[in-house]
Amino acid sequence: MSVEQLLGRDSFIERGARSRAQALLDAGTMRELAGPFERLHSPWLAMQHLVTQADDGVIVAKGRLDGRPTVVLAIEGAFQGGSMGEIGAAKIAGALELALRDHERGIPTQAVIVFETGGVRLQEANLGLAGIAEIQSAIVALRRHVPVIGVSAGSVGCYGGMSIAAGLCSWFVMTREARLGLNGPQVIEQEAGAAEFDSRQRALIWGLTGGEQRVAARLADACVDDDTAAVRATLVDLFARGLPAVHRSDRAADFLACLERVDTTRQATAQDVRDLYSKGLE
Amino acid sequence: MERLDYEFAAGQPAPGRTVCGVVSSGDLEVLLEPGTAGRTTIAVQTSVDGYGATWNALLERVFGTGDLPAARIEINDNGATPGVVRMRIEQAYEQATNNGGKP
């Protein structure tokens, strides 16, 4: 990106969830469902003396993308780390289920999920986990008919149970700044030690889990610049392509076979990972 | 966490409803809806205890003259400084006026 482009771009990362949803949909078509004035506060956070947000950190926006009926589910990464509680997860799962019902009634509603999440909200424990499971089943049910596209722009990235939801999406779009992984760097360091994974080494973390690497390792499909127009254009492109021939999650056996070939006697480099997956997933 | 409630004199009802800000560290969310003419109510939920006097002073300065449009305001605060609080309230009024209340 040149300096002029850098200054002229309209950052997607810097937008909040509501603004992201609005920017992805065609101008003037966005209608928010289960919005902040419905006052769907998390009942569990208040019991633990934490301040709640009126939309529980999830924006459900219906509208059109390039003229086609679309629902955008945007997670607000700044509120409680984008964590999935009972309400927020139910909003996403419910919206996906309604999109499926739309489809069965002849309105092919496509779905975009903007992942900015550390996974389950620990304060809501099992209810959050159950909600994530519902999101996952809803993605699998809907993607039989229309693509469900995931986007992770950063800076939170996509972790935990929601990274599994990301893996179930028909297509997954990332920026270089975004990260995708089951466990976050600090969790890995805490469990396995700094020698295994030093969570303070940013180059190591982004080298192994950043957007560029995940696309090279075929765990994501497109790496876009942090530019709202570019993110939107990529979505339009991917929806035009339709469903992938084989969904990534249906290739689990191929991915597992790659993992079995990992040389665990030394620390894997980003290049090792790329070689391993590109050989195994041709 | 602390809850604080306020009431101020106000003008005509605000032209629409709007929401701005996020409950992130050092920030707050402001929900603004049209209120009954002549009266603004504010419900504050804040993560920081013991700053009632600061909230009193700040809100008195913003709403004390009684000439802002009447609104029902909900503030969900996660440790924002008074300057940020004031800017978010002003943003909410500006948005409510500009977009007729579409959040």
Within 8 A of A80 by CB-CB distance, chain B residues are: 23
Which of B23, B25, B46 shows the shortest C-beta gap to A53?
B23
Q: Is residue A187 part of a domain?
A: no
Q: Is residue A54 part of a domain?
A: yes
d(CA A126, CA B5): 34
Count of domains observed in chain A: 1
Rg for chain A (alpha carbons), in Å?
18
CATH of the domain at A150: 3.90.226.10
C-beta atoms surrounding A166 within 10 Å: 26
Q: Is residue A19 part of a domain?
A: yes
Query: Considering only residues 31 to 50 of chain B, which have any Cβ-Cβ distance to chain A shorter than 8 Å?
Result: 31, 33, 45-47
Q: First and final CA of chain A: distance in angstroms?
A: 30
Distinct helix (H) and strand (E) counts, chain B? 2, 5
Pairing state between β B71-77 and B28-34: antiparallel
Within 8 A of B103 by CB-CB distance, chain A residues are: 18, 32, 35-37
Give B45's DSSP letter.
E
Q: Is residue A192 part of a domain?
A: no
d(CA A123, CA A105): 38
Q: Is residue A176 part of a domain?
A: yes
Q: Is residue A48 part of a domain?
A: yes
pTM for the structure as a whole:
0.95
Q: Does B101 have pLDDT greater than 70? A: no
Q: What pLDDT does residue A212 have?
A: 97
pLDDT digits (tens, 9 = 90+) for A23-78: 999 999 999 999 999 999 999 999 999 999 999 999 999 999 999 999 999 999 99
Domain boundaries, position A98:
3-180+220-244
Q: Is residue A15 part of a domain?
A: yes
Does residue A73 contact residue A109 with C-beta atoms inside 8 Å? no
Range B79-103 average pLDDT: 88
Tokens standing for residue B44: 């504050």
Q: Is residue A67 part of a domain?
A: yes
pLDDT digits (tens, 9 = 90+) for A166-178: 999 999 999 999 9
Of A128, A130, A173, A129, residue with least CA distance to A148: A173
Within 8 A of A51 by CB-CB distance, chain B residues are: 1, 23, 45-47, 76-78
Instruction: Say if the Cβ atoms of A37 and B31 lie within 8 Å.
Output: yes
Selected for mutation to probe chain A from B17, B18, B24 (highest A CB count within 10 Å) is B24
Local confidence band at B45 (pLDDT 50, 70, 90 cut-offs): very high
pLDDT digits (tens, 9 = 90+) for A155-198: 999 999 999 999 999 999 999 999 999 999 999 999 999 988 99
